[in-house]
Every structure is written in C-alpha cells, then in structure tokens.
Amino acid sequence: MNIIKVIADKFQLQEQQVNKTVELLDQGNTVPFIARYRKEATGELNEEHIFGIEESLNYLRQLDKRRTEILRIIEERGKLTPQLAVDIKQAETLQALEDLYLPYKEKRRTLATIAREKGLEPLATTLWQQQSNIEPSKLAEEYLDPELELHTAEQALEGAFNIISEMISETAVYRQIVRSLTRGYGKIKTSISDKTDTGVYDIYKEFTQDVSEIPPHRILAINRGSKEKIIKTKIAGPAESILGRLEREIIHTNYQPLKTFLQSAISNAYKKFLAPAIEREINKLLTEKAEKQAINSFQVNLRQLLMQPPVKGLNIMGIDPAYRTGCKLCVIDNTGKLLQTATIYPHQPHNKQYAAEETVKKYIDQYDVRLIVIGNGTASRETEGLIANITANSPQDVSYVIVDEAGASVYSASTIARQEFPELDVAMRGAVSIARRILDPLAELVKIDPKSIGVGMYQHDVNQKNLSKALTQTVTSCVNQVGVDVNTASSSLLSYVAGVNKTIATNIVAYRNENGLFRSRKELNKVAKLGKKTFEQCAGFLRIRESQEFLDNTGVHPESYKLTHALLKHLNISVPAIDKRDSAWNTALGNIDIEELAIEMKAGLPTVKDIIEELRRPGHDPRDELPKPIFSTDIVSMDMLREGMTMTGTVRNVIDFGAFVDIGVKQDGLVHISQLSHTYVRHPNDVVKVGDIVKVKIIKLDLQRQRISLSMKL
C-alpha cells in the first residue's frame, strides 16, 4: 500500500505535500511548528490538515504492521493461497483485514471443530459445492463411524451443517453483506422494564430508530443507560432481506433437499453467528462515531472558551460564593498577582450583609477595583444581589460579571494550586481562579483538566484516552496561536508550548526564579534539558517583552531573524519606528508587493508574508479581535422574565441539539437547534460558538422546573 498516495487522496492533497509533512513528523517536529514555520515544505497546510495526516499515518502504519503479521501467521500454517495473499495486501481497513483473517484465527473448540475432528469436512465440502443431486442424508451415510459417535446419518449431517454454518459466518464477503444491510436498513431498539424508574431515560422506554439515522448524542445517552442497567438495547438487521441476499450468493442448485439444507445452514449462520457479531460491531461503530462527534464538539467549545479575549488593564475582585462557610473574596492586579483575600458572610445562616458590603466597598476603594467576578455556583445569585446593589450605588465605575466556575474546585485541590498559593486554603484558591479566568482565560484554564471545564457533552462517557489526546491538541493549538510570555507564564501554560514537556516547563520557571527575567530567546538555551531541537520547536511561540531584540516579542522564529533584519534594511524601515507603531512604516508594509519582495530576498513567499504580518502587528494577540464579555451593573432574576422578551446573552455551551445561553439569570436558557436560524442548520456549531454574544427571544418559561427556552429567530 502506498501510504502517501492513500492519505493524499483522502484529504485531496498533493502527494508531495503529504510526503514532506510525513518527513517532518518523523523527524520529531510538532504540529504547531510545522504549520507555522514549515509552510514552504507543506504547501501551507494548516494544523487541522497536519493533525489529520498524522492520525491517518498512524492508522495506516498500524494497518501495514497488522497485515504483515497476518500474512506471516497464515503462511506458517500453510494456508496462504495466492488469491488470499492478494486480498490481504489489498485490504484498506483493519475491519476488512480481520474479516479475511477470521477463518484462520485460533479459536476455542466449536461444534464445527468437533465435526472436523470426526472427519466430516469432506461431507461439508461436497454439500457446499452442490454438484450432486443425491439426498444429503444418503451422502452422510458414508461417514458413519460408531467409534466417533457417528451412529446415524442425521448425526453426520448435523456435523456438516455446523461446519458450513461456521464457514458462512467467517467468509468476508458474507460478513460484508450482513454488515452493509444492517447499517443501511437495520433498526436500533431500546426497552426499559416497567419496574424501573426511567427518569431522564423516559424517551427510551419503547424506542425505535433507523441505525442510519440515529444521532450521535442519542447513542451516547443509550450507552449510558445501558451501562447503568436501565436500558436494554438491540440492533436488529433486516433478516428477511439478509437471508434472501445470502441465499442468492450461496445457493445455485435446484435440487430441493440440498437447497433446503443450505437454507437452514444459512439461517443458522446468520442467527447464531453473524447477527450477534455484526450487532456488536455496529454498536461499536456507532459508539466510535458518536464519541468522535462528541469529542469534536468538545474541542470546538474548548477552543472558543480558551480563546475568549482577556480583560486587560483592570484590578479585579473575585468571589467564590457560599452560604455557611462564607464567600471567599480576593483581589488581583492586572498581571494576576494576588493583592488581598477575605471571607464575608452575607447569607444565611450568618446574614452579616452590612459587614460584607463594607468589606467589598473597602477593597474597591483601596485597590481601585473596576470589575468584580462572581462564580456561578452555590449562592451565586444571592451574591449577585449583594454586588449589584454595591455597583449600582458606587461612585466609581464598577461592573460585575458571572463566570462559569466549572473546574475551580479541581484546580484548588491540585498540586499546581498548592505550589502557587501554599498559604491559602482550598476555597480561597478557587476565588483566585475565578478572578483570573476573566483576566486571561487561556492562562488560567490550562491549569485545569479540560474534562472538568464544563463545555461539551457526555465527556465522561467517551473513550478517555481519545478525549485527552484531542483536548491536549486543542489546548496546544490555542496556546501556540496566542504565544506565551515566558517571564509571566506558569509551568502549566508553558507545558503546552510546542516541544516543551512538563519537565522542561518546570525547569524554565525554576531558571526564571533563580536568575530573574529572561532577557532574550537565546537565554532559553541555558535552561536544563532544553536542547537544540526543543529550542527550534518552541522559540517562535515564546515571547520576551524585556529583550533588546524586538523580534523576541513577535512570532518571527529566530531562524528568520537575519532575513527579517535584511528585509527592514531593504525597505529602509528602522526598528525604533516599529517599536513606536509608526503609521508610516505600517502603510509602507501594507503597500509592499510581497511576491516580488520574496524573489528579491531569495526567501519563501509564506515566510515573507508571515514576517510582514508580524512587523505590522508586533506582539499581536488574536483574542483581542473577539467580542468582550458582557458586564453588568444591575441584577436580573427569573421572576423578571416574560415570554416574548428579547435579551442579549453569552453562549456558554454548544451541543448536538442546540446551545445554552447565559442571559444573566441563574439558569442558562436553551436555544434548540430548530430555533437557531430561519434556514436549515446541520449542526449548532455552524451558527454559534462558545463565548459568542447573541440576541435571543424568550419563547417559553417553566419557572417550576427552572427552564428557559430561547430562540435566535428574531
């Protein structure tokens, strides 16, 4: 198999692009590095393409390894025919390969095995070839042997019957017929015992849907119910069609006794072997497809959450609300440094509201706080009432925002949190996390296991290894897209930089603590275990604002510094002009014929394009272009809502059947997929993303169950 050609055809790319990408991956280069700094080699493939190539490459190499192993085993057993070898070499999937290998696999003793041991395989072969019009029972009489417990023709015929049934079930072409018809026309059916409390699974009490049409989120719900032993599931193929098709493929005799015998063997093979095996296989296939969809949705949501714009230049107060144990309060400066902590008790059973208000006002004045961030957990809305009253009557311009505190408790109890704030208790660390996740969502949220962040759906029901790998890819992509200030970043953030592992990230922080701020990218070479290859991979994604080399605070890679300075000299642009954001040089750069310039400088066009873009916007943060969070100064409650109201909200989560939108009350509202647009919506992610600011209309309120139905079809 030509792996390069197969991948190129799959992604509709040139073989040269795939070949160069595979070479770069095999050399140990990271995907972000290849996508950003090896565009000439790959033909400007983006991260998505490169991740896809890497995944396909691993699969096809695994396929080739398995193919070689299967060929070896079958050949050692003396069963490898020229045609079988060709079929195995041409198999394009692991499933097709395993189908071909199935008849030669070592298996436990079966009825067919026992029949073969009694010498009945020749009888089975004769019946299978259908070249005789002799009654099957007459043929069987030749194989009677009391010593082998073959006393009657019926016993011999039963053995041949078992051999033929197993042979049919293990033949690749017949398995594919059953697989194809079941996937295309089968139905998934669920049931729940009348004695079982169905709860959220009520829809699945007597549920039937075509296998080809069932949506991914429903598969995951059924799987969860099955795991909890509430739902019983069955995948039923179109038995009549399958048996008819198998009979047409297998039976070519008109001799009725033999025809009847073979029909019975086919039916037995299907019901006893093929149907259960294909049901398991399709269930696995549906689950894998559903998990892939769920993981993909999780990745999209996570990317949008991580890429929300930071709130810069403000001192922020964070509050982790609670009743009995009090609300934990902290103040951080615009770099995330902790300035103050306190605990207030405005709610039951203490009800020290006045004292709480005075404490909040005191710190607003003392630290010039301009934004208060409230976690959305227990006592969140009561705390919002307290803060809304303060902001509404404050002489300063103070706003507040409620953020999803999902994962704050996970962070609080983590090793990272203990290292950052050894003197703080767990709850107070949560308040700091809540404040920092509005200051810089990316820098704070990377400290938390992505599965605990609260976006996506069924994240605990999918393959955890695949989920972790996908989410790590997403976090890595976001971190490298934004770039990292090496002098302020935590080891958690640094560990997601291309080429940097947890050990090197820890060593970078240790070096910084011991020697002070990094003054240049070159200084990174002094960090323990940060070798030449790691430096090559990570340097372009690390920013050093304090460096005398202004390119150290850009996305220009050190390998292109010489070219960049030559470009500036060629264009007669000074470094001070760039540092001062002089409009003249920006205009000049905007009017350059980049293709001509690349030719003049004898450099790759993609590299020159990227350098010019970095020079035009040095230190640019791509998150700054996104809409900022909505800040509030007054409170809204469920009781104030009315059907027909139009409001502005923030998308908190996007799932297969819609999107949850925060409109400023305790409960997020659901915009069902049917209410996202006046036109057909394939998937909600095509219309909205986490963090989007959207206008919605309330179409239904259920105060008793605290449910809000929204529509974006205004």
Structure tokens at 626: 């996104």
The closest alpha carbon to 22, from 34, 12, 10, 32, belongs to 34
The closest alpha carbon to 577, from 586, 564, 567, 565, belongs to 586
* Burial of 412 (C-beta count, 10 Å sphere; 0-12/13-18/19+): buried
Structure tokens at 362: 């005191």
Q: Stretch 614-624: mean pLDDT, rounded?
A: 82
Question: What pLDDT, on the 0 to 100 scale, is given for residue 577?
Answer: 60
Q: Does the pLDDT at position 377 exceed 90?
A: no
Look up residue 573 and give its amino acid: I
265-290 per-position pLDDT tens digit: 999 999 999 999 999 999 999 999 99
How many CB atoms within 10 Å of residue 89? 12
Cα separation of 285 and 257, whole Å? 39
Question: What pLDDT, on the 0 to 100 scale, is given for residue 582?
Answer: 58
Cα separation of 564 and 612, whole Å? 9
Question: What pLDDT, on the 0 to 100 scale, is given for residue 402?
Answer: 86
Compute the Cα dihedral for 432, 435, 439, 441 and give only its sign.
positive
Helix (H) / strand (E) containing 122: helix 121-129
Q: In what order do the strands lie in the sheet with 315-320?
A: 338-344, 327-332, 315-320, 369-375, 399-403
Q: Is pLDDT larger for residue 116 or for residue 592?
A: 116
The closest alpha carbon to 312, from 67, 619, 684, 520, belongs to 619
Question: What pLDDT, on the 0 to 100 scale, is given for residue 623?
Answer: 84
Percent of residues, the chain, with pLDDT higher than 70: 96
Cα separation of 491 and 474, whole Å? 18
Q: Which residue has the tokens 């009694």?
A: 118
Question: What pLDDT, on the 0 to 100 scale, is given for residue 274?
Answer: 97
Asked if residues 438 and 371 have their Cβ atoms less than 8 Å apart, the reply is yes
472-525 per-position pLDDT tens digit: 999 999 999 999 999 999 999 999 999 999 999 999 999 999 999 999 999 999
Question: What pLDDT, on the 0 to 100 scale, is given for residue 392?
Answer: 86
Helix (H) / strand (E) containing 142: none
Structure tokens at 294: 């769920």
Q: Stretch 656-663: mean pLDDT, rounded?
A: 88
Q: Which fold does the domain 512-625 belong to in CATH?
A: DNA polymerase; domain 1 (1.10.150)
90-144 per-position pLDDT tens digit: 999 999 999 999 999 888 889 999 999 999 999 999 999 999 899 999 999 999 9
| Range 315-475 classified under CATH 3.30.420.140 | yes
- As beta bridge partners, residue 460 has none
Q: Which residue has the tokens 């079966």?
A: 110
Give me the helices (H) in 545-680, please. 561-571, 575-579, 583-590, 594-601, 605-616
Structure tokens at 595: 């293709």
Per-residue exposure over 584-609, b if at least 16 CB sit within 10 Å of its own CB, e if not: ebbeebeeeeeeebbeebebbebbbb
Q: Indicate the pLDDT class of residue 49, thresholds 50, 70 and 90.
A: very high
Structure tokens at 377: 């957990």
Q: Does the pLDDT at position 581 exceed 70?
A: no
The closest alpha carbon to 375, from 424, 321, 305, 300, belongs to 321
Question: What pLDDT, on the 0 to 100 scale, is given for residue 648?
Answer: 82
Q: Indicate the pLDDT class of residue 562, thresholds 50, 70 and 90.
A: very high
- 272: CB partners within 8 A, 6+ apart: 165, 169
Greatest Cα-to-Cα distance within the chain, rounded to the nearest angstrom: 107
Q: Is pLDDT larger for residue 631 or for residue 282?
A: 282
Cα separation of 495 and 675, whole Å? 41
Q: Does the pLDDT at position 633 exceed 60?
A: no
Question: What pLDDT, on the 0 to 100 scale, is given for residue 132?
Answer: 86
Cα separation of 41 and 23, whole Å? 10
Angle separating helix axes 353-367 and 380-393, nearest 10 degrees: 60
Q: Which fold does the domain 638-711 belong to in CATH?
A: OB fold (Dihydrolipoamide Acetyltransferase, E2P) (2.40.50)
Please, how many CA atoms are within 13 Å of residue 529, restricted to the half-sphere of its CB? 12
357-362, long-range: CB < 8 A, 24+ apart = 357/386, 357/389, 357/390, 359/329, 360/317, 360/329, 360/386, 360/387, 360/390, 361/390, 361/394
Cα separation of 247 and 240, whole Å? 11
Question: What pLDDT, on the 0 to 100 scale, is given for residue 277?
Answer: 95
Distance (Å) of CA 298 to CA 47, 137, 225, 236, 454: 17, 62, 21, 31, 9
Instruction: Report domain extents, the chain.
Output: 3-75, 315-475, 512-625, 638-711
Question: What pLDDT, on the 0 to 100 scale, is given for residue 689?
Answer: 87
164-182 per-position pLDDT tens digit: 999 999 999 999 999 999 9
- Counted residue by residue, the chain has a size of 714
Question: What pLDDT, on the 0 to 100 scale, is given for residue 190?
Answer: 94
Q: Does the pLDDT at position 580 exceed 60?
A: no
Question: What pLDDT, on the 0 to 100 scale, is given for residue 652?
Answer: 84
Structure tokens at 224: 């969860």
* Burial of 130 (C-beta count, 10 Å sphere; 0-12/13-18/19+): middle
Q: Indicate the pLDDT class of residue 262, thresholds 50, 70 and 90.
A: very high
Q: How far apart are the first and last CA of the chain?
A: 54
Asked if residues 48 and 303 have their Cβ atoms less than 8 Å apart, the reply is no
Question: What pLDDT, on the 0 to 100 scale, is given for residue 655?
Answer: 86
Q: Does the pLDDT at position 307 exceed 80?
A: yes
How many CB atoms within 10 Å of residue 516? 10
Q: Is pLDDT larger for residue 574 or for residue 699?
A: 699
Question: What pLDDT, on the 0 to 100 scale, is given for residue 356?
Answer: 97
SS (H, E, C) 314-362: CEEEEEECCCCCCEEEEEECCCCCEEEEEEECCCCCCCCHHHHHHHHHH
Q: Does the pLDDT at position 389 exceed 70?
A: yes
Helix (H) / strand (E) containing 484: strand 484-485
- What average pLDDT is seen over the chain? 91
Q: Stretch 21-37: mean pLDDT, rounded?
A: 97
Q: Indicate the pLDDT class of residue 350, thresholds 50, 70 and 90.
A: very high
CA angle 596, 598, 602 (to 5 degrees): 120
Asked if residues 671 and 710 have their Cβ atoms less than 8 Å apart, the reply is yes
**DSSP 3-state assignment of 414?**
coil
Structure tokens at 349: 């059973």
Structure tokens at 252: 């070519």
Q: What is the pTM of this model?
A: 0.82
Q: Which fold does the domain 3-75 belong to in CATH?
A: Arc Repressor Mutant, subunit A (1.10.10)
Percent of residues, the chain, with pLDDT higher than 90: 67
CA angle 190, 191, 197 (to 5 degrees): 125
Q: Stretch 557-582: mean pLDDT, rounded?
A: 81
